Amino acid sequence: MKKISVLFVCLGNICRSPAAEAIFISLLKKKGLTDGFIVDSAGTGSWHIGKKADSRMRFAAERRDINILSRARQITSKDFEEFNYILAMDDSNFRNIQNLKNSADSTDFASIKKIQDFRSVFKEQEVPDPYFGGDEGFDYVLDILEDSVNGFLESIS
């Protein structure tokens, strides 16, 4: 059986997208589905390549028994060939992903969507970037992502 591959994307790949990746992995483990998926995250920017997720996001996630283990990387044109789904955290990153795809010499394999298209509880059209705010912003982003990531999993299972 071919694995379903999912890539979560935000700006720097240190807050929202690694949190979404970790939440998705946690959901897959709870449902016994980990063997059927490849999961990763990336940023449209290159500022944080190789760094761990923001310590505030890791701490907020750990309080929910979610471990963010990934290291930041930048999305590449190869990702459009390797991932079934590429999920953007906001409109700006969605446009950046589309622009990269349009300028890349790649196949039309990936389905590019906004993660908030799968929300059911929260009204936010975008996942806000908590980087420049207070600690409570990280908890709020996790709340939003738990809702929309769960909705995404339900839509593909």
Q: Which of 16, 56, 58, 119 is catalytic?
A: 16
Cβ–Cβ under 8 Å, residues 8 and 87: yes
Catalytic residue among 10, 40, 58, 90: 10
How far is residue 101's CA from residue 66's CA, in Å, rounded to a whole number? Answer: 31
Q: Which amino acid is at 134?
A: G
Angle at 118 between CA 96 and CA 16, to 5 degrees: 50
- Asked if 10 is an active-site residue, the reply is yes
65 three-class SS = coil
Q: Which of 54, 90, 129, 147 is catalytic?
A: 129
Is 16 a known active-site residue?
A: yes
Distances in whole angstroms, Cα of residue 14 to Cα of each of 2, 34, 118, 123, 145: 29, 23, 22, 24, 14
* 108 is annotated as an active-site residue: no
What the block records as the tokens of 31 is: 């449902």
Residues belonging to the active site:
10, 16, 129
